[in-house]
């Protein structure tokens, strides 16, 4: 082509980013890599190759970690951890140095990322690498402030971290920066397709003065991940597929280590008829064709208001025609290569097996070599079509229509996932009404895929749990300071005494009504001297089912009530309990023995006051994100929470473990103290007189072992908390993998007379980040 020819056609032509420096770095390392353990690289064992998905060329040969590598890495991290945790300012200096070095070597990181992953150089250069830098800057500040701002929190210890191949460096930053800031040390496993920038990161850790053993990087496939999950670490953080997340949940069950999972999604992208359509189209480019659609929060489900759908689809098809697919190192490429032929095949077979709707592939030839899939739009799908439900993880957009805002929410929430959502409307009333109704961890208003270290990111439902970024992200890498004693088993008294009074019938309390147990069984409850105090119903799985149904239904409206109203009701419960204090105290003494009943009733009233007080005070935050706009961190109720109450305190146990959940707008299915169940059942009479809507608190009694499993298994329960002294935690954690509900199992003794807002409030809420850019 002569200049004259180009002058006539006005084509773009090639604009390749030079890859020489990145390739030279690989050669300097011998094009072979071992693991980074204890501050140096191990001898390479050449087990597998890392390839450039744009052309299939081998970039380097990598090592598959063995059990002894994992052991060595964990040991190195363990050894380094205590001194690393000692001085926040020193950590801040190191994290700052890492941020600076990421800046100084920004192009090297970007080019290496694109070579290894296939994403367009524009994205690695303008998005991934700057966001990674920002994460380290932000957390340098967090390390600096930890002592003053989080005085009661301490490091967890050694964190095992497993990251995916779609944002190799950025996910590393999201994992490593907060962990290090909080004084943890890490063993990180990058995805086997994309380990190179992690290894380059290891290299710069040495220049940044990261002490030996603080950062360890082991490479390999899923088997290495499994070994890391099985290693004696104090925390597992995983980003990746929901199926692997589920396995990790099962594998870590009962080990008493915290877990965060950031998993898949099928995020809705909602366009209302008053939206700036051209801008919404451009947003879609950044939603589903960003990183070839290989983004956990990709806006992969397009929901368009019916009246504008045809016009919107026309505009969208026209826009798709100008997307440039090709060599990711070319600066003018919008869509690069899919990471691996396996992934490409998955995308192909999912789209090919679809028989509904209209499939539109963007025109334009794909490169002959390398792994490419054309940007694709499938319109006319219904929520029941598999492509509207299953995550494709490719450049494929599935579209359907809706009629009203209410229907938009219904369709949007009709999914097992709950990671992110996008809403386009020029109407602030509509936007701010819809955002809280979407069952996701992130909502973008008139924008999409905005990220920042200050703003939490993470999902609900099967998109996982835990947040990354912001103050809320630090929960995942800290624990309360101080040691607590192990929880002692509390066994029911036995006896053969006579009833002391007229028979009192205690029933289960489900949906605001007294209910006989489904199974029709009860058991005798004896006092410490063997007196027969009464009978407690034995709930079975059907009672759990009924209670969850009542709770899930109540949660919908309870979660939308004002904190002020919830506070009033909790105070009123306290008032009504206070009026019957003597009776409740006597009943406690009868069951437990001694004369602590008065104190326990006082503590219960105090607890109700505390959580009533919090009901309207657990404020969200407005995050200082680097855009003209605001990122709101809103504390939303989790939904339906199953609670296995502590056994030692018949009344306080029920109240102190459920009131925080109720105060935050959740509905609760509580299993009262197994040893002393009668006070919980008596308390339902107070509930009946206290205006608490039916279903908000359901009270069951029965065997924790059986009931906890049913609750943890139940796909409509959003979280399970266990404070019982029975040995149920492993079973709960394992069973929770079904819908990846949040679990909180305590096996240490808690002082229930002192309400612990720091522990309960985060457990009782989900932080939703709502991004609202503005400007006219």
Q: Which residues are catalytic?
A: 262, 296
Question: 744, 733, 725: which is closest to 709 by C-alpha?
Answer: 733
Q: Rank residues 322 and 754 by Cβ distance to another protein and give the closer one.
A: 322
Q: Rank residues 35 and 122 by Cβ distance to another protein and give the closer one.
A: 122
Q: Rank residues 2 and 355 by Cβ distance to another protein and give the closer one.
A: 2
Name the DSSP letter for residue 292.
Answer: G
List 719's β-bridge partners, or say none: 641, 742
The label of the residue with tokens 């991290």 reads: 77
Residues 6+ apart with CB under 8 A from 713: 735, 738
Closest approach, Cβ 303 to another protein, in A, equals: 18
**The token pair that represents 229 in the structure block:** 């999950």
Q: Rank residues 436 and 629 by Cβ distance to another protein and give the closer one.
A: 629
Closest approach, Cβ 17 to another protein, in A, equals: 9
**The token pair that represents 190 in the structure block:** 């990058």
Q: Rank residues 332 and 716 by Cβ distance to another protein and give the closer one.
A: 332
Find the angle CA(512)-CA(709)-CA(688) to the nearest 5 degrees.
10
What 3 state SS string does 100-169 have? HHHHHCHHHHHHHHHHHHCCCHHHHHHHHHHHHHHHHHHHHHHHHHHHHHCCCEEECCEEEEECCCCCHH
| Residue 212 exposure: Cα atoms within 13 Å on the Cβ side | 9
Closest approach, Cβ 122 to another protein, in A, equals: 5
**The token pair that represents 470 in the structure block:** 């912001």
Strands (E), 311-441: 358-361, 376-379, 396-402, 420-424
Give the span between the Cα atoms of 522 and 513, in whole angstroms.
18
Residues 6+ apart with CB under 8 A from 652: 600, 603, 604, 607, 752, 753
Q: Rank residues 329 and 548 by Cβ distance to another protein and give the closer one.
A: 329
**The token pair that represents 559 in the structure block:** 């979660």
Give the span between the Cα atoms of 177 and 172, in whole angstroms.
8
List 748's β-bridge partners, or say none: 486
Identify whether the C-beta of residue 643 lies closer than 8 Å to the C-beta of residue 685: no
Closest approach, Cβ 169 to another protein, in A, equals: 18
Give residues in contact with another protein (CB under 8 A).
Answer: 1-15, 122, 125-126, 274-280, 282-283, 322, 331-332, 334, 424, 426, 446-447, 627-629, 773-776
Sign of the CA dihedral running 718, 724, 725, 726: negative
Strands (E), 205-356: 215-217, 235-239, 259-262, 267-271, 299-305
Closest approach, Cβ 773 to another protein, in A, equals: 4
Identify whether the C-beta of residue 232 lies closer than 8 Å to the C-beta of residue 711: no
Q: Rank residues 331 and 479 by Cβ distance to another protein and give the closer one.
A: 331
Pairing status of strand 48-51 against strand 58-62: antiparallel
Identify whether the C-beta of residue 447 lies closer than 8 Å to the C-beta of residue 455: no
**The token pair that represents 387 in the structure block:** 């492509």
Length of the chain in terms of residues written: 776
Q: Rank residues 211 and 773 by Cβ distance to another protein and give the closer one.
A: 773
Give the span between the Cα atoms of 35 and 43, in whole angstroms.
8
Q: Rank residues 281 and 720 by Cβ distance to another protein and give the closer one.
A: 281
Q: How many CB atoms lie within 10 A of CB 257?
A: 18
Pairing status of strand 396-402 against strand 376-379: parallel
Closest approach, Cβ 118 to another protein, in A, equals: 17
Q: Rank residues 315 and 513 by Cβ distance to another protein and give the closer one.
A: 315
Give the span between the Cα atoms of 557 and 559, in whole angstroms.
5
Q: Measured between alpha carbons, how far is residue 674 from residues 147, 178, 539, 584 in Å?
A: 40, 40, 11, 18
Give the span between the Cα atoms of 117 and 129, in whole angstroms.
13
Closest approach, Cβ 332 to another protein, in A, equals: 5
Q: Rank residues 428 and 586 by Cβ distance to another protein and give the closer one.
A: 428
């Amino acid at each position: 082509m002569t200049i004259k020819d180009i002058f006539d056609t006005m084509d773009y032509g090639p604009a390749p980013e030079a890859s020489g420096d990145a390739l030279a770095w690989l050669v300097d390392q011998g094009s072979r890599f071992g693991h980074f353990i204890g501050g140096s690289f191990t001898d390479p064992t050449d087990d597998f190759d890392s390839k450039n998905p744009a052309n299939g060329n081998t970039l380097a040969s990598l090592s598959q970690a063995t059990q002894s590598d994992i052991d060595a890495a964990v040991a190195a991290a363990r050894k380094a951890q205590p001194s690393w945790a000692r001085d926040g300012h020193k950590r801040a200096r190191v994290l700052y140095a890492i941020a600076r070095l990421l800046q100084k070597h920004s192009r090297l990181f970007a080019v290496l990322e694109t070579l290894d992953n296939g994403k367009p150089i524009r994205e690695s250069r303008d998005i991934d690498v700057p966001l990674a830098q920002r994460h380290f800057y932000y957390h340098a500040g967090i390390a600096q402030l930890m002592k003053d701002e989080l005085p009661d929190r301490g490091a967890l210890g050694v964190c095992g971290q497993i990251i995916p191949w779609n944002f190799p460096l950025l996910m590393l930053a999201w994992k490593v920066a907060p962990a290090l800031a909080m004084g943890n040390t890490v063993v990180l496993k990058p995805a086997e397709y994309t380990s190179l920038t992690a290894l380059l990161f290891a290299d710069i850790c040495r220049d940044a003065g990261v002490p030996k053993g603080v950062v360890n990087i082991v490479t390999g496939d899923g088997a290495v991940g499994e070994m890391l999950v099985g290693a004696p670490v104090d925390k597992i953080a995983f980003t990746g597929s929901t199926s692997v997340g589920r396995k990790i949940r099962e594998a870590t069950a009962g080990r008493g280590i915290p877990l965060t999972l950031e998993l898949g999604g099928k995020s809705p992208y909602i366009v209302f008829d008053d939206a700036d359509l051209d801008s919404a189209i451009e947003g879609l480019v950044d939603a589903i064709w960003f990183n070839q659609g290989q983004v956990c929060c990709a806006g992969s489900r397009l929901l368009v208001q019916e009246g504008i759908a045809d016009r919107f689809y026309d505009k969208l098809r026209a826009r798709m025609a100008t997307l440039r697919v090709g060599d990711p190192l070319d600066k003018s490429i919008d869509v690069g290569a899919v990471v691996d032929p396996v992934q490409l095949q998955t995308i192909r077979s999912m789209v090919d097996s679809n028989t509904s709707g209209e499939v539109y592939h963007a025109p334009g030839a794909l490169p002959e070599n390398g792994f490419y899939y054309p940007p694709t739009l499938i319109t006319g799908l219904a929520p029941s079509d598999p492509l509207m439900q299953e995550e494709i993880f490719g450049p494929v957009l599935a579209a359907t229509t809706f009629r009203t805002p209410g229907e938009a929410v219904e369709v949007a929430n009709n999914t097992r996932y709950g990671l992110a959502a996008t809403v386009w409307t020029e109407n602030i009333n509509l936007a701010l009404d819809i955002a809280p109704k979407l069952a996701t961890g992130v909502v973008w208003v008139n924008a999409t895929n905005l990220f920042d270290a200050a703003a939490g990111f993470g999902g609900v439902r099967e998109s996982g749990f835990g947040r990354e970024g912001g103050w809320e992200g630090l929960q995942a890498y800290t624990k309360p300071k101080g040691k607590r004693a192990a929880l002692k088993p509390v066994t029911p008294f036995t006896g053969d005494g006579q009833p002391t009074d007229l028979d009192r019938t205690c029933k289960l309390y489900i949906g605001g009504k007294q209910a006989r147990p489904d199974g029709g069984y009860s058991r005798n409850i004896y006092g410490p001297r063997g007196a027969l105090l009464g009978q407690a119903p034995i709930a079975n799985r059907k009672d759990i089912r009924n209670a969850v149904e009542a709770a899930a239904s109540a949660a919908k409206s309870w979660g939308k009530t004002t904190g002020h109203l919830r506070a009033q009701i909790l105070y009123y419960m306290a008032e009504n309990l206070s009026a019957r204090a003597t009776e409740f105290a006597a009943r406690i003494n009868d069951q437990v023995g001694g004369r602590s009943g008065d104190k326990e009733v006082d503590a219960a009233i105090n607890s109700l006051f505390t959580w009533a007080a919090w009901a309207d005070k657990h404020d969200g935050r407005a995050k200082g994100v680097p855009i003209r706009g605001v990122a709101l961190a809103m504390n939303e109720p989790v939904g339906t929470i199953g609670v296995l109450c502590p056994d030692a305190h018949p009344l306080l146990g029920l109240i102190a473990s459920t009131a925080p959940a109720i105060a935050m707008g959740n509905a609760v299915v509580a299993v009262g103290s197994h040893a002393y169940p009668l006070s919980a059942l008596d308390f339902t009479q107070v509930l009946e007189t206290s205006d608490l809507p039916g279903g908000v608190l359901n009270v069951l009694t029965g065997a924790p072992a059986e009931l906890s499993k049913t609750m943890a298994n139940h796909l409509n329960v959003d979280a399970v908390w266990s404070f019982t002294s029975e040995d149920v935690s492993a079973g709960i954690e394992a069973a929770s993998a079904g819908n990846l509900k949040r679990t909180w199992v305590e096996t240490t003794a808690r002082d229930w007379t002192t309400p612990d807002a720091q522990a309960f409030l985060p457990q009782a809420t989900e932080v939703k980040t709502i991004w609202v850019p503005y400007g006219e």
